[in-house]
Amino acid sequence: MSDFGFLNTHRTWEDWCGMVLGALIVVSPWFPIQEQPAIAADSMVILNAVAVGLVVFGISQLEYVALQRWQEVATILVGLWLIASPYFLGYSGEGFLRIYHTSLGAVTVLLGMLLLWQDWDLTDQDMLKHGR
């Protein structure tokens, strides 16, 4: 009987997925199939996407180097902000960009929850061994 043990351990490929996810968030305002090209010129939306993407990318790099639990919590919070940002910043009616940010935010939250679940019972010494 096979065991899905690969989901029980925080692996470095998950950190790399977080870095790719951060890069996708940064470039999301310029994804194709935007209904209104005017949204790509909105500096607040672009600044939000770049800032959130860089935070996700940076946290994933930190997890790759020195794993700590606050990083997963921060990833979850940033993902929740990305889901909520279309409504707070006023571009919820823009169609695809809202869908992009909601989807990327949901994937960020799910990745953060998976990583937090994997690292919940680890000691500080075990967390220091991550990536070696």
Would you say residue 59 lies in a domain? yes
| Residue 82: predicted pLDDT | 95
pLDDT tens figures, 42-66? 788 889 999 999 999 999 888 777 7
Would you say residue 42 lies in a domain? yes
Would you say residue 131 lies in a domain? no
pLDDT at 8 over 70: no
**Burial status of residue 13 (CB atoms within 10 A of its CB: 0-12, 13-18, 19 or more):** exposed
- Mean pLDDT across 92-115: 88
Would you say residue 95 lies in a domain? yes
Q: What is the pTM of this model?
A: 0.80
Domain that holds residue 43: 12-30+37-121
